[in-house]
Amino acid sequence: MTDPLPPPPVFRCDGERALVTGASRGIGKAAAIALAQAGAEVTLAARSVGECEETAEALRAAGLAARAAALDVTDRAAVRAFVAAEPPFGILLNNAGTNIREPFLEVRDDSLEHLLDLNVRAMFTVAQAVARRLVEAGRPGSLINVSSINGHRGGVNRSVYTATKHAVEGATKGMAAELGPHGIRVNTLCPFFVETPLTAGILSDEKFRAALERRVPLGRILRTEDLLGAVVFLASPASAMVSGLALLVDGGFSVQ
Ligand SMILES: NC(=O)c1ccc[n+]([C@@H]2O[C@H](COP(=O)([O-])OP(=O)(O)OC[C@H]3O[C@@H](n4cnc5c(N)ncnc54)[C@H](OP(=O)(O)O)[C@@H]3O)[C@@H](O)[C@H]2O)c1
């Protein structure tokens, strides 16, 4: 008699609670929908709670579990209070972030402060709050910090953004090393240019867009749906032994 077949990998998040920051639009919104479709009970957090609620309502209407939460991730006290008052989140998509494109010689102090505050400090505080709650409860988890290809390379007019995304990569390595013994995995998702409200302006410049696309082996700018397999993979037991990974979703851009 032959052995029974081994079970297939589990690309599902059933029974997990997922927190997605920056879920009112763009990558966060698409990822929140994908995580709910993969079985997670999703909390969509952002400042624009109305937009989160609209998505949550559509998910509930489809029989999925979702709710909205008003949260400014740069408000450290609010983040800590919010996470502490909740049952632990086994999945975090630490996604809230932005970019301000400025030449290095003209970077304003307030841009520098804002990007450090949102892309680094808030990312750190949210991950720390979620991880503390998991450790306290003795629960495993998967934290996904949204980085960028600029977590790995530079670019014109993006010295601050590049610095913040390298910080995301650095913090993730430290978190993965320290949280592994608690059964908590920490990885980054590193997209190339994705069509979202954040990039709508720059990608409407046809010359810029065409020049970018020529540099992508797979030939195009990403759409949010291109990231969702990677998000569900990192969130689910399919990646049970993956931690400290920077998962580039870039159409091959970074090989050149
Ligand atoms: N689009 C790209 O090409 C690209 C490429 C690589 C990496 N990324 C990264 O992917 C992430 C999402 O980008 P995106 O393109 O989806 O951006 P987006 O369309 O501008 O959406 C940003 C999200 O972050 C939220 N947010 C901003 N400030 C916040 C705050 N203080 N508290 C809570 N939420 C806040 C926004 O919600 P509210 O304004 O409602 O709060 C919104 O939901 C960012 O970390 C970005 O760096 C994007």
| Cα(1) to centroid(ligand 1), Å | 54
Nearest in space to 88 (alpha carbons), one of 175, 27, 15: 15
Residue at 109 is within a domain: yes
Give the pLDDT confidence of 86-122 residue by residue, as tens digits.
Answer: 999 999 999 999 999 999 999 999 999 999 999 999 9
Pocket mutation for ligand 1, best pick of 95, 124, 166, 189 (most atoms within 8 Å of C-beta): 95
Atom of ligand 1 nearest to the CA of 147: 7
Compute the distance between CA of residue 244 and CA of residue 247 in angstroms, rounded to an integer.
9
Is position 161 annotated as part of the catalytic site? yes
Compute the distance between CA of residue 159 and CA of residue 106 in angstroms, rounded to an integer.
11
222 C-beta closer than 6 A to ligand 1: no
> Can you give the residue range of the structural domain that contains 125?
17-249
Atom of ligand 1 nearest to the CA of 24: 43
Residue at 159 is within a domain: yes
28 within 8 A of 20, measured Cβ to Cβ: yes
Considering its fold, how many domains does the chain have in total? Answer: 1
For residue 204, the model assigns a pLDDT of 97
243 C-beta closer than 6 A to ligand 1: no
Helix residue ranges per DSSP H, 4-137: 26-37, 49-61, 76-84, 109-115, 123-137
- Measured at the CA of 186, the angle between CA 185 and CA 188, to 5 degrees, comes to 140
By three-state DSSP, how is residue 74 classified?
coil
Residue at 67 is within a domain: yes
Give the pLDDT confidence of 23-72 residue by residue, as tens digits.
Answer: 999 999 999 999 999 999 999 999 999 999 999 999 999 999 999 999 99
Does position 1 have pLDDT exceeding 70, yes or no? Answer: no
What is the domain-level CATH number for residue 51? 3.40.50.720
| Cα(69) to centroid(ligand 1), Å | 16
Residue at 6 is within a domain: no
Compute the distance between CA of residue 221 and CA of residue 217 in angstroms, rounded to an integer.
11
Residue at 71 is within a domain: yes
